[in-house]
Amino acid sequence: MKKQLVFIMTDTQRFDMCSCYGKNKGLKTPNIDALAASGVRYERAYTTQPVCGPARSGLFTGTYPAWNGSWANGMALGDNVKTIGQRLRDNGYHCAYIGKWHLDGTDYFGNGFCPDGWDEEYWYDMRRYLEEMSEDERIMSRAAKSMTLTTIPEEFTYGHKVMKRALDFMERYKDEDYLLVVSFDEPHAPFLCPPPFDTMYKDFEFPKDPAVYDTLGGKPGYQKVWAAQKGPQMDRDAVRIREQFYFGCNAYVDTLIGRVAEAAPENAMLMYTSDHGDLLQSHCLFAKGPACYDAVARIPFIIRNPQGIKGGVYDRGPVSHISICPTIMEYFGLPIPKVLQGESILNTTLDANASAPQYAFYEFTRFEQDHDFYGGFQPMRVCTDERYKLAINLMSEDEFYDLEQDPYECCNLIHDPAYAKERDRLHDALIERMYVHRDPFRGWYWVNRPWRTGVPEPSWFDRGWTRQRENEEYEPRQLDFVNGIEMVHAQRFKVNNGNFTYGSLQEMIDFLRDYDRK
């Protein structure tokens, strides 16, 4: 049987902007709803970092942004980091990527060059789109004001052009195995959409949930600085969430998704998600950035497995974008490389009671590498399970939420002794994850938080371990720093040679030869 997988994604689409999630929010996405009815909808799914480029790095490499090098917009993946396209291509599968990429380390639009692993003929990043236009057309395509000054033809939009190329690819290669990524920029700004979507939400007001009424009492100081950019925020009754063209683009991209899903082969697997959400005045905040809140970090996520559940909802716990690459590898019948930092969740498409990883992790380091207009360096690491969420904000106060009692994350319980046991459990899991996955920002400062007792005193040597990469599909096995011989255990305690006395040179050689094998 053919192995075909169509991966569809949007940009800046909150989970509750899809009507199968936000049933009472008033936005309609019938095609995404239909996709959910044909597969499994994941109730709580999280990005790896709530900003465009880093989120995509987690999606398409199976590694966390801090590890793979793309931990801010404008930062390219590390040269030895492999995408899912490279991995599948090297195992004989045809891979095409059509749409926004944002991983080459240049500007928002990309550099126009097809990266290794993907079909050059179908490559269509946003630079290639803009290069088809005159300068006047480029300006019009990037100005939100265009929506009030003219009518945008559907054929002009990036989404339409991406969709048409996707349909062409699926028809042309209908008898072959492949991975096709269809990456829409919509509903991201500048919110260009054709009729009737341009007026569909003209008088619409997005309902305010309790998160909008959170005035940041007891919350981290950096969030108050962030909120202050919009001026005084205390009168939450006066807030009106009116985003006519954003919501119009949300409806428009839903129709594009419908066209792609309808044209996809019946026996193909479909995956759909977005890179991150939008705060939309939740917690007095706007846009995206270093916040642990569901409004920005929780994303829609649906898998249609042709052999799997139809109309299922997976709600046993959170899942993460970090699981997408290993899930794709398993679907194509390939071994999951050790270097990938997530686990496959293919089993959850077959059994709604299947187990998934206990915790989901996500992070933030900075928004933009090339300039400082937004936020600056704001390192954050987050751990969540089926009920609780812990956020360590390295340069500010930390957060802890009971999502069962407080689903809108309004009450910060970080210092509440009644929650100390659960808080510390998530903290331990988070710290362990940072070490096992070689987070380059790891260190004692994440451990020794003001609210945490019973942890080791700060140490310059920290845990004293060495942790080497296992990227052995593409690299020779790394050599041990101590003896120059191929490592046996990638994670091991690093020997301090000064602590040992040897009677002879051979005794030293024998010891160092064997120390990592014990």
Active site residues: 52, 102
Q: How far apart are CA 434 and CA 511, in angstroms?
A: 30
CB atoms within 10 A of CB 432: 12
Q: How far apart are CA 309 and CA 356, in angstroms?
A: 16
Q: With contact defined as beta carbons under 8 Å apart, do 383 and 437 qualify? A: no
Q: How far apart are CA 264 and CA 174, in angstroms?
A: 9
What's the maximum distance between 2 C-alpha atoms anywhere in the chain? 86
Q: With contact defined as beta carbons under 8 Å apart, do 76 and 103 qualify? A: yes
Q: How far apart are CA 241 and CA 100, in angstroms?
A: 27
Phi-psi region of 281 (alpha: psi -120 to 50; beta: other; left: phi over 0): left
Q: Could you tell me how far CA 425 lies from the centroid of its own chain?
A: 24
SS3 256: helix
Q: How far apart are CA 431 and CA 425, in angstroms?
A: 10
Q: Could you tell me how far CA 139 lies from the centroid of its own chain?
A: 30
Q: DSSP letters of 226-290? A: HHHTT-----GGG-----HHHHHHHHHHHHHHHHHHHHS-TTSEEEEEES----TTGGG--SSSS
Beta strand 301-304 with 269-274 is antiparallel
Q: With contact defined as beta carbons under 8 Å apart, do 395 and 441 qualify? A: no
Return the structure tokens found at 26. 């008033």
3-state secondary structure 128-187: HHHCCCCHHHHHHHHCCCHHHHCCCCHHHCHHHHHHHHHHHHHHHCCCCCEEEEEECCCC
Return the structure tokens found at 375. 């936020």
Q: How far apart are CA 103 and CA 83, in angstroms?
A: 10
- Whole-number Cα distances in Å, 401 to 63, 142, 364, 414, 463: 26, 39, 18, 8, 29
**Which of 120, 116, 64, 97 has the alpha carbon at shortest distance from 324?**
64
Place of tokens 């066209």: 259
Residue 76 DSSP symbol: P
Q: How far apart are CA 303 and CA 323, in angstroms?
A: 12
